[in-house]
A and B are shown apart, each in its own frame.
Chain A
Amino acid sequence: MSETGLPTTDGRRLIAAARRRDLLFAGIGLAVLFVATAVLLALVLDLVLTGAPHIDLDFLTSYPSRRASRAGILPAWVGSALVMLVTAALAIPFGIAAGLYLEEYAPRNRVTDVIEINITNLAGVPSIIYGLLALGVFVYGFRLGETILVAGMVLALLVLPVIVVATREALRSIPREVREAAFALGADKWQTVSMYLLPAARPGILTGIIVALARAIGETAPLVTIGALTFIAFLPPPPITAQPPFVSFEWLGSPFTVLPIQMFNWISRPQAAFHELAAAAGVVLLVMTLAMNGLAIYIRYRARRLLG
């Protein structure tokens, strides 16, 4: 016992107990993390080991074929890329605009509340429901057909809530001092938003876009529902042409397939050779996703460096 009456040995024991608790918790956390990472790593490794040997220029530039040795993924990756282009072109501006409106402009009333709840819930709707909606509205209702445009539209709808929510979160996390400083300088609402809030929210919005596009590129169900082809031996018309005006949007109306559907198609065949091709296509899909992420991270890094 010390002079103050506090049992010093007990103090040490308490600290030791706290240390043990911390260690135990860190241990459990590490174990869980390890299991999760190990499973993921094993899956990716298996995919790469099986698929990588099949990836060469021929594989990327050939059409699918009944013979595994001649089959390629040209229409699939081109389809995926074009669909993602449409998705991004629709989901990014609409998502940011909607998030901006809800966070900065919408009056606080019942209608706004209903819209907010709906958007949050939309993020949880199974994707095949979106497929059914697109089939009914876009394919049959608007007679847009089973095209790249419709595929891009349905995926844009699917990931819109992600971008809306990310935009709102990013705007909300800007300290109110920044907003007040802008208004105090005499800025109007649009100046405050465009000159100060959006730039400050950019990293958060970009993160939302990465998550959204990564989800969209892996989607299969809604595209099958709207009638994506599973076997296709031609490319959509090129977006760039030799004659003026040098750009063409004919490809929007073209039938298509995408990488996940191509993979599914090969997986369902009995021959093992096709299973290996599916793995190879999976690797390409992963690389495309990582490339998109990499681009977004690079933009975000540059934005951060500029903003400090």
Chain B
Amino acid sequence: MTLAAPLPAEPAPPSARPDEARPAEIRAKAAVEDLSFWYGPKQVLFSISMPVAEGCVTALIGPSGCGKSTFLRCFNRMHDLYPGNRYAGRILLEPEGIDIIGPKTDPMVPRMRIGMVFQKPNPFPKSIYENVAAGLRIRGVRSRTVLDAQVEKSLRRAALWEEVKDRLHASAHTLSGGQQQRLCIARALAPEPELLLLDEPTSALDPIATAHIEELIDELSRRYTIVVVTHNMQQAARISRFTAFFHLGRLIEFGPTEEVFTRPRETMTQDYITGRFG
């Protein structure tokens, strides 16, 4: 499926990487259509429609409590873990167009194809190796050679391999906060997800660890489709190709990051990115 109206067919490539060849046509990895969400009786998302461009970083920005995490957690049906939550609308996962939140879709289906990294690093109380291998073990991979290879590959992609290669069997809790978050990224990458969800992955980290993770996201965006929640606008501007601005559960503006930040269509977006509220 090619993207409809909200995405310009050929957005100007960000100046940061002029050398990189972009596909002539950006396709959607997912399409959100008229999505609403309720925590019990309380509606927190209102008729949201937007695409998620394949092979790009899409940033979700907006003031705290506007529903960014709630929106992100719809993609892998995390809300199904708690009673009383309700979705309406559709989230189509391409290329097949499976409706992620459709009542007939088993939540395991999107979770098998979509990885997630949480706001607070949440490694399992197990070894570094077992944390990265977790997704593969869940998928029934037993072969030691496959596990070893995939664990190393994922740790390398998460830029953590050099730091932990000599203590793969030490507890994950012996790592620093920034390392734990990169471990969680490696854990999410190991099963080779088609889409990676990051919920404020740097908010619990110090500036140096944050810089590490941002570099990493940039690196990963060559290979994965990424949706990242951030309340840090500089971060959104630095790392994303597209930006969605949320306010009080509504999508106020969506477009290429450059446009949203340099000439927003909505005054509310303008006010938010210039720091007038939020």
* Nearest CB in chain B: distance from A308 CB, A: 2
Of chain B, the residue at the smallest CB distance from A196 is B124
Residue B86 lies at the interface, judged by CB distance under 8 Å to chain A: no
Known: A177-B118, A307-B171. A186 touches B112 (CB 8 A): yes
Those of B32-71 within 8 Å (CB) of chain A: none
Residue B115 lies at the interface, judged by CB distance under 8 Å to chain A: yes
CA distance A69 to B161 in the complex (A): 71
- B125 contacts A195, C-beta separation under 8 Å: no
* Nearest CB in chain B: distance from A79 CB, A: 40
Contacts of B78 in A (CB 8 A): 180, 183-184
Of chain A, the residue at the smallest CB distance from B118 is A177
Stretch in B11-19, B130-138, B232-240 with 4+ CB within 8 Å of A: B130-138
- B122 contacts A181, C-beta separation under 8 Å: yes
* Nearest CB in chain B: distance from A106 CB, A: 12
The number of residues on chain B lying at the interface, defined by a beta carbon within 8 Å of a beta carbon of chain A, is 31
- A181 contacts B118, C-beta separation under 8 Å: yes
CA distance A306 to B127 in the complex (A): 8
- A186 contacts B172, C-beta separation under 8 Å: no
Contacts of A196 in B (CB 8 A): 124
- B118 contacts A185, C-beta separation under 8 Å: no
CA distance A195 to B139 in the complex (A): 13
Residues of A within 8 A of B (CB): 108, 175, 177-188, 191, 195-196, 199-200, 306-308
- B138 contacts A195, C-beta separation under 8 Å: yes
Instruction: Write out, one digit per residue, whether chain B residues 148-184 have a CB within 8 A of any chain A CB (1) or not (0).
Output: 0000000000000000000000111110000000001
CA distance A183 to B122 in the complex (A): 13
Of chain B, the residue at the smallest CB distance from A176 is B81
- A191 contacts B138, C-beta separation under 8 Å: yes
- B125 contacts A178, C-beta separation under 8 Å: yes
Contacts of B184 in A (CB 8 A): 181
Residue B27 lies at the interface, judged by CB distance under 8 Å to chain A: no
Those of B103-131 within 8 Å (CB) of chain A: 108, 111-112, 115-116, 118, 120, 122-127
Residue B275 lies at the interface, judged by CB distance under 8 Å to chain A: no
Please name 15 pairs of A and B residues whose Cβ atoms are closer than 8 Å in the assembled complex, sorted by A: A177-B120, A178-B122, A181-B118, A181-B187, A182-B124, A184-B76, A184-B118, A185-B134, A185-B135, A185-B188, A191-B138, A199-B126, A200-B125, A308-B170, A308-B174
- B138 contacts A307, C-beta separation under 8 Å: no
Contact partner of A187 (CB less than 8 A), chosen from B83, B127, B138, is B138
- A195 contacts B122, C-beta separation under 8 Å: no
CA distance A187 to B83 in the complex (A): 19
Residue B191 lies at the interface, judged by CB distance under 8 Å to chain A: yes
Contacts of A185 in B (CB 8 A): 111, 115, 134-135, 138, 187-188, 191
Q: Which of A180, A183, A185, A195 has the most CB of B within 10 A?
A: A185
- A108 contacts B76, C-beta separation under 8 Å: no
- A186 contacts B124, C-beta separation under 8 Å: no
- B111 contacts A178, C-beta separation under 8 Å: no
* Nearest CB in chain A: distance from B118 CB, A: 6
- A180 contacts B124, C-beta separation under 8 Å: no
Of chain B, the residue at the smallest CB distance from A303 is B125
Contact partner of A186 (CB less than 8 A), chosen from B108, B123, B171, B174, is B108
- B81 contacts A180, C-beta separation under 8 Å: yes
Known: A182-B134, A184-B78, A308-B173. A175 touches B187 (CB 8 A): no
